[in-house]
Amino acid sequence: MARKHKDTVSRLAALAIGLGAEGLDIEYKDGHEEVFAIKNGLGWGIASLRSSSRDAKLLRAELFRMAKRKRQVILDEMKYELRTRIYDSFGEHAFRVKLRRV
């Protein structure tokens, strides 16, 4: 049974897991936060949020918190662990979220 996730990272993770992805990459480009689902080293865009929007600001805040502490989400009665790493991409913060079934 699918469950509604109220925070942005959980919604994006649910979308990526549904597509069979192993992770998410979030990078800034041209005034937007671009979100990519990653599988086997390949990524495809699943979302684009205007950087000045409320959702993008909440997404960045969640990702910075998650870099300090992993998070777990439940999707279709399966538990997933989300681990976030921050890295530099052309002078901007970028995020990699690993999605691991536990």
In the chain, domain spans: 8-101
| C-alpha span between 64 and 5 (Å, rounded) | 19
pTM value is: 0.87
Beta strand extents in the chain (DSSP E only): 23-29, 32-39, 42-50, 71-75, 78-89, 92-101
pLDDT digits (tens, 9 = 90+) for 5-40: 578 899 999 999 999 999 999 999 999 999 999 999
The CATH class that applies to domain 8-101 reads alpha beta
For the chain, the straight-line distance linking the first and the last C-alpha, in angstroms and rounded, comes to 18
Residue 1's pLDDT band, with cuts at 50, 70 and 90, is: very low
Q: Residues with Cβ < 8 Å from 91, sequence gap 6 or more?
A: none
Residue 75's pLDDT band, with cuts at 50, 70 and 90, is: confident
